[in-house]
């Protein structure tokens, strides 16, 4: 059995979570876990986008990255070129 705990949230927050859980036919715990998963994934991809923005701002770094991608394209290609 999963260990459980109690957290204090406002009535408004609880009601919002319950509304979402009802719409998704989930328990409050399942809806909260799903919402946290989405938030974590969103933060991960925001970090990836920020990393690419920083890399693009560095012209030499971006050029090196593009060159490396081109090498991988050759390595993973089927040898047929752009046919």
- Ordered by start, the domain boundaries in the chain are 11-76
pLDDT, one tens digit per residue, over 55-77 is 999 999 999 999 999 888 877 76
CA distances from 10 to 54, 56, 82 (A): 39, 43, 59
Segment 23-43 shows an average pLDDT of: 98
Q: Which of 56, 76, 75, 57 has its CA nearest to residue 66?
A: 56
Say whether pLDDT at 80 is over 70: no
Query: What does pTM read for this prediction?
Result: 0.72
């Amino acid at each position: 059995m999963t260990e459980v705990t109690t957290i204090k949230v406002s009535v408004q927050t609880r009601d919002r979570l319950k509304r979402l859980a009802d719409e998704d036919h989930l328990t409050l715990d399942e809806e909260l876990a799903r919402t946290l998963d989405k938030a974590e994934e969103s933060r991960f991809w925001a970090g990836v986008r920020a990393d690419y923005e920083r890399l693009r701002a560095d012209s030499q770094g971006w050029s090196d990255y593009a060159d490396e991608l081109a090498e991988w394209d050759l390595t993973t290609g089927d040898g047929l070129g752009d046919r």
